[in-house]
């Protein structure tokens, strides 16, 4: 079934969906498994948790998280992406009753207030302009339960020469000012402005991706 994409000013990746599972390991310098494992450890899913993944792509990380959830206890993960083709691939390859995928824009979530225990996002925020970064963080805050966890892994201030090279070359090669905002380091302040506690930096990957953890205050 064809799933329509959701209008957004974010850079959606409909065109890349058929080959995204081959491309992503390259972006992660062939260390995708290691990267996803540390994201999983940061998220620390509990069997009964309800979890939301923003900009889920083809749903590889959602499927990994899904293995740690117990549907009989109400555990579930929902991946959203504004690219209909990404959601088609995710549903076909990885959809289960407790690992669901919906076409939706992260800046306008169709979920009730306080409906998730955790929100996670990997490599999504450098795809949206500043105002949508802000709105999607406000939406993440709204749909999280008090005390809920937000885990973000994304491009941030480069920490190595290789990281700086990858960041600046991608910003100019893809003509993507949204990357420029990330590498100037806007994300932590935007999380705080959305109401989250000051984020902790848990890890850095490849000199260009930072893993942040924060929570919605009780």
Ligand X SMILES: C[S@@+](CC[C@H](N)C(=O)[O-])C[C@H]1O[C@@H](n2cnc3c(N)ncnc32)[C@H](O)[C@@H]1O
Where does this chain bind ligand X (CB under 6 A)?
Answer: 8, 10-13, 24, 55-57, 81-83, 86, 105-107, 122-124, 127-128, 132
Q: Please state, in angstroms and as integers, the Cα–Cα distance from residue 99 to each residue in 47, 79, 120, 160, 216, following that order.
A: 13, 8, 14, 36, 24
On the 0-12 / 13-18 / 19+ scale of CB atoms within 10 A, 118 is: buried
Minimum CB distance to ligand X, residue 107 (Å): 6
Nearest residue to ligand X, by Cβ distance, number only = 10
What end-to-end distance do the CA atoms of the chain give, in Å?
A: 41
User: Of 105 and 119, which has the nearer Cβ to ligand X?
Assistant: 105
User: Of 49 and 154, which has the nearer Cβ to ligand X?
Assistant: 154
- Give the separation between CA 37 and CA 45, rounded to whole angstroms: 12
User: Of 48 and 202, which has the nearer Cβ to ligand X?
Assistant: 202
SS3 category, 100: strand
Minimum CB distance to ligand X, residue 86 (Å): 5
Contact (Cβ atoms closer than 8 angstroms) between residue 101 and residue 84: no
Minimum CB distance to ligand X, residue 73 (Å): 25
User: Of 24 and 88, which has the nearer Cβ to ligand X?
Assistant: 24
Minimum CB distance to ligand X, residue 55 (Å): 3
């Amino acid at each position: 079934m064809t799933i329509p994409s959701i209008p957004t000013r974010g850079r959606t990746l409909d065109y890349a969906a058929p080959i995204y599972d081959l491309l992503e390991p390259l972006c992660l310098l062939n260390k995708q498994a290691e990267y996803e494992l540390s994201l999983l450890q940061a998220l620390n899913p509990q069997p009964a948790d309800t979890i939301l993944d923003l900009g889920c792509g083809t749903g590889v990380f959602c499927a990994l998280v899904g293995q740690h959830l117990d549907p009989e206890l109400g555990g579930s993960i929902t991946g959203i992406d504004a690219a209909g083709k990404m959601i088609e691939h995710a549903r076909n390859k990885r959809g289960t009753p407790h690992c669901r995928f919906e076409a939706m824009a992260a800046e306008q979530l169709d979920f009730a207030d306080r409906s998730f225990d955790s929100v996670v996002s990997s490599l999504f925020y450098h795809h949206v302009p500043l105002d949508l970064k802000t709105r999607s963080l406000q939406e993440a805050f709204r749909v999280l339960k008090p005390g809920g966890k937000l885990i973000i892994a994304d491009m941030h201030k480069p920490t190595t020469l290789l990281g700086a090279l990858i960041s600046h070359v991608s910003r100019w090669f893809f003509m993507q000012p949204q990357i420029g905002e990330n590498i100037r380091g806007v994300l932590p302040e935007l999380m705080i402005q959305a109401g989250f506690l000051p984020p902790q930096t848990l890890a850095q990957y490849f000199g260009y991706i930072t893993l942040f953890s924060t929570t919605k205050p009780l």
